[in-house]
C-alpha cells in the first residue's frame, strides 16, 4: 500500500537519520520562505484576510510574520502561507514546478509557536513534510498539472498534514486518516493564476493539512489508502501517474535537495529569459536595438503568455513584460512588478520589440536569445542553466541579501539580522520564542 508505506517512512525517519546536507538545505529553505512571507505581509490581500479574521473574532494564538497581529492557529497557517506566495519569489522544485515550503512552513511555525516545539522538532517535521509532498508530486506530474491543477496546493496539502502529524505525534492509523482527510481537500486551479487567489492556494493547503491532522488526532476517520485507491487522489486527478515514485529510494534520494531558490520575483519558467535579457542589457544599447527574439520551452507561453498585462501581478505572468523590464532595468525584483511599471509607455513600447518562439527541444532551465540591431548585425546568447537552478544555485550570501532586501523595510535592520541568524541555526534553539520576538519592528522605519 502506497499511502501506508509513505506514512511508515515518515514516522520512522528520525532527525538523526537525515543527512546534514538535507538539514542545511531545509534551513535555507525556511530562510527563503520567511523572507518572502514577511516581505509580502503588507499586501492588500493580507489586509483583506486579516480584516475578515477580525470580523470573525478568532483567538489571538499565533503570529503573522511581518505583522503585529496574532490570529488563531488555522487562520495563521492560511495567512502566512498566502503571504509567502504573493511575490512569486518562493522556492521551486523545477521537476514538478512545485513550491514546497509554502504549504509546510506555515504549519510547523504555527504549531511550534502554539505548542512550544524546539527548532529541531520544527525542522524535522518541515523536511519530512516537504519530502512527502514532492514525492507525491513526482508521481502525478505532468498529467495532473496539465489538467489544470495547481500542484503546489493539490499535493502540498499532503505534506502539510504529514508535517503537522509528526509534530502532533500521530500514530500510524491517525496519520493515514490525516492523509485521507487532506486528500479529499486537495484543490487549486490554474485558472486563477494572475489573481490574489493563486497565492491563496498554498495558504489553503497549509490550513487544510493542519486541520486534517488535528481532526485525525481526535479520531476523525478517513480512507487509509487515499493515494492509490481506485477513487483516490492519483486515479481521480492524474490520468497518468506512477505511484512507485512516492516511496522509491526513501532515505537515500532526497527530493528536497532539488529545491531551488529564485533570484527573480516571478515564475521560474521566466528566469532563463530574464538571464538572457539581462545579458543583452549589459551588451546592447536601447538606441541600437531593433528587436529581441526568444526561443523558449513550451511552458513559458502556456504559463506566462499574457501579452498586455494590466497590473503588476499580471506582469509576473507575461514573458513580454518580464523580458522588457529585464532588458531595460537589468533586474527583475519585486520592485519591477508594479502597476506603474506595466503602464509605463517606455516598457510597453519595448514589449513590442520582443517575439517568442516555442521549441520543444528547449529545456525548462534554458533559453536562446537573438538581438537584432538596427545596423543588421545580430548578437546571440544561450542560457543553459538559469540563475537559481540546481546547476547554478543561489549561494547562502545571495540568499541573505535577498532576505534582507525583503524584510528590512518591514521589520528593520536588527530584527531582520536576528531572524536570519535564528533560521540558519534553527536546530540549536530549544524553542522559537526568540524567532517570534524578532518578528517585531526593531527601529523606526521610513518609507
- The DSSP 8-state label assigned to residue 94 in this structure reads T
Cβ-count burial 99-123 (b if 16+ within 10 Å, e if not): bbbbbbbbbbbbbbbeeebbbbbbb
Whether the CB-CB separation of 321 and 342 falls below 8 Å is answered with yes
Query: CB neighbours (10 Å) of residue 257?
Result: 16
Torsion sign (Cα): 411, 412, 415, 419: positive
Beta bridge partners of 392: 389
Q: What is the pLDDT along the chain (447 residues), one digit of tens a residue?
A: 999 999 999 999 999 999 999 999 999 999 999 999 999 999 999 999 999 999 999 999 999 999 999 999 999 999 999 999 999 999 999 899 999 999 999 999 999 999 999 999 999 999 999 999 999 999 999 999 999 999 999 999 999 999 999 999 999 999 999 999 999 999 999 999 989 999 999 999 999 999 999 999 999 999 999 999 999 999 999 999 999 999 999 999 999 999 999 999 998 899 999 999 999 999 999 999 999 999 999 999 998 999 999 999 899 999 999 999 999 999 999 889 999 999 999 999 999 999 999 999 999 889 999 999 999 999 999 999 999 988 999 999 999 999 999 999 999 999 999 999 999 999 999 999 999 999 999 865 544
Residue in the structure block whose three cell numbers are 498566502 = 82
Cα–Cα distance for residue pair 321/211, rounded to 1 Å: 39
Whether the CB-CB separation of 270 and 320 falls below 8 Å is answered with no
Alpha-carbon dihedral 240, 258, 186, 17, rounded to 10 degrees: 110
| pTM of the full structure | 0.91
What is the structure's pLDDT at 321?
Answer: 98
Burial class (CB in 10 A: 0-12, 13-18, 19+), 363: middle
- The DSSP 8-state label assigned to residue 147 in this structure reads T
Cα–Cα distance for residue pair 356/199, rounded to 1 Å: 27
- Strand, coil or helix: 419: helix
Residue in the structure block whose three cell numbers are 520575483 = 265
- Strand, coil or helix: 373: strand
- Long-range pairs of 381-386 with CB within 8 A, sequence gap ≥ 24: 381/276, 381/279, 381/280, 383/272, 383/275, 383/276, 383/279, 386/268, 386/271, 386/272, 386/274, 386/275
Report strand pairing: 70-71 vs 92-93. Answer: unpaired
Q: How far is CA 342 from the centre of its chain?
A: 24
Strand order in the sheet with 378-383: 354-358, 289-296, 367-373, 378-383
What is the structure's pLDDT at 150?
Answer: 98
Per the structure block, which three cell numbers stand in for 300? Answer: 513559458
Structural domains in the chain plus CATH codes: 2-260 (1.10.4100.10), 268-383 (3.30.1330.120)
Whether the CB-CB separation of 119 and 31 falls below 8 Å is answered with no
Per the structure block, which three cell numbers stand in for 444? Answer: 523606526
Residue in the structure block whose three cell numbers are 501581478 = 313
Amino acid at each position: 500500500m502506497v499511502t501506508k508505506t509513505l506514512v511508515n517512512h515518515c514516522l520512522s525517519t528520525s532527525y538523526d537519520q537525515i543527512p546534514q546536507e538535507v538539514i542545511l538545505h531545509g534551513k535555507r529553505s525556511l530562510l527563503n520562505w520567511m523572507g518572502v512571507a514577511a516581505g509580502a505581509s503588507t499586501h492588500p490581500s493580507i489586509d483583506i484576510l486579516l480584516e475578515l479574521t477580525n470580523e470573525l473574532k478568532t483567538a489571538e494564538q499565533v503570529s503573522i510574520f511581518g505583522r503585529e497581529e496574532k490570529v488563531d492557529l488555522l487562520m495563521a497557517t492560511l495567512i502566512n502561507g498566502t503571504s509567502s506566495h504573493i511575490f512569486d519569489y518562493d522556492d521551486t522544485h523545477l521537476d514538478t514546478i512545485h513550491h514546497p515550503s509554502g504549504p509546510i512552513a506555515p504549519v510547523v511555525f504555527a504549531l511550534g509557536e502554539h505548542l512550544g516545539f524546539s527548532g529541531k522538532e520544527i525542522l524535522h517535521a518541515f523536511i519530512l513534510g516537504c519530502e512527502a509532498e514532492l514525492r507525491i508530486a513526482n508521481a502525478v506530474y505532468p498529467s495532473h498539472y496539465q489538467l489544470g491543477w495547481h500542484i503546489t496546493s493539490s499535493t502540498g496539502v499532503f505534506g502539510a498534514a504529514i508535517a503537522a502529524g509528526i509534530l502532533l505525534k500521530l500514530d500510524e492509523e491517525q496519520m493515514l486518516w490525516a492523509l485521507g482527510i487532506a486528500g479529499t481537500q486537495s484543490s487549486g486551479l490554474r485558472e486563477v493564476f494572475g489573481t490574489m487567489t493563486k497565492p491563496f492556494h498554498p495558504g489553503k493547503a497549509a490550513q487544510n493539512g493542519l486541520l486534517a491532522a488535528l481532526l485525525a488526532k481526535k479520531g476523525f476517520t478517513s480512507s487509509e489508502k487515499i493515494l492509490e485507491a481506485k477513487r483516490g487522489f492519483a486515479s481521480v486527478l492524474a490520468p497518468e501517474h506512477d505511484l512507485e515514485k512516492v516511496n522509491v529510494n526513501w532515505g537515500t534520494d532526497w527530493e528536497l535537495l532539488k529545491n531551488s531558490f529564485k533570484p527573480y520575483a516571478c515564475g521560474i519558467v521566466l528566469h532563463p529569459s530574464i538571464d538572457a535579457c539581462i545579458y543583452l542589457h549589459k551588451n546592447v544599447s536601447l538606441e541600437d536595438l531593433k528587436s529581441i527574439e526568444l526561443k523558449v520551452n513550451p511552458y513559458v507561453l502556456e504559463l506566462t503568455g499574457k501579452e498586455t498585462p494590466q497590473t503588476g501581478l499580471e506582469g509576473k505572468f507575461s514573458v513580454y513584460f518580464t523580458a522588457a523590464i529585464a532588458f531595460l532595468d537589468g533586474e527583475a525584483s519585486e520592485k519591477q512588478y508594479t502597476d506603474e511599471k506595466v503602464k509605463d509607455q517606455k516598457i510597453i513600447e519595448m514589449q513590442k520589440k520582443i517575439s517568442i518562439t516555442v521549441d520543444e527541444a528547449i529545456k525548462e532551465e534554458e533559453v536562446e536569445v537573438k538581438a537584432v540591431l538596427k545596423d543588421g548585425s545580430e548578437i546571440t546568447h544561450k542560457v543553459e542553466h538559469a540563475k537559481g537552478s540546481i546547476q547554478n544555485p543561489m549561494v547562502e550570501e545571495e540568499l541573505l541579501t535577498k532576505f534582507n532586501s525583503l524584510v528590512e523595510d518591514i521589520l528593520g535592520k536588527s530584527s531582520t539580522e536576528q531572524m536570519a541568524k535564528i533560521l540558519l541555526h534553527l536546530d540549536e534553539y530549544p524553542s522559537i520564542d526568540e524567532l517570534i520576538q524578532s518578528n517585531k519592528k526593531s527601529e523606526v522605519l521610513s518609507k
